[in-house]
Amino acid sequence: MEDGDLFVRLITGKQCAREIKIPFSVNVMKCPIVSDKSKIEFPCLPETEYSEVVLQLNNESSRNYTFEVVPPNPKVSGIIVNPLVKPLPANRSTLVSIRYESAFRDLDYWSMKDLFKP
């Protein structure tokens, strides 16, 4: 358990300000889900080729978790993650595939606008 204070300055006018102190306490703990890789790098690839990295995620706790990966838009980044959501039972592990597809992406204002249409 760690305690501390946040100091906030409230500006109430052009020349008037007030400072307040907000006490807090936090319980910092180590993340129970551990990956077998600390860094992922994709090589420079010719267009239309791909590279794939497989991560092993281990749940080192006695609690069940569900993890969710939110990758950037694949049409922009070329990154595809599978599975996106998966339960991870206590003291078990699972594999996650991260695939990078190389392609020339001629992105400008109009093509980006088309990619992100609702």
pLDDT at residue number 90: 95
Between residues 64 and 11, the one the model is more confident about? 64
The answer to the question of residue 73 being in a domain is: yes
Q: What CATH number is given to the structural domain containing 65?
A: 2.60.40.10
The answer to the question of residue 115 being in a domain is: no
Q: Is the pTM of this model over 0.85?
A: no
- Provide DSSP, 92-103: -EEEEEEEEE--
The two most distant CA atoms of the chain are separated, in Å, by 61
pLDDT digits (tens, 9 = 90+) for 23-53: 999 988 888 999 999 999 988 888 889 999 9
pLDDT at residue number 115: 74
- State the total domains in the chain: 1
pLDDT at residue number 100: 93
Structural domain of 87? 33-105
User: pLDDT confidence of 14, banded at 50, 70, 90?
Assistant: confident
Distance CA 81, CA 70 (A): 8
CB of 17 closer than 8 Å to CB of 10:
yes
pLDDT digits (tens, 9 = 90+) for 71-95: 988 888 889 999 999 999 999 999 9
User: pLDDT confidence of 59, banded at 50, 70, 90?
Assistant: very high
Distance CA 26, CA 62 (A): 22
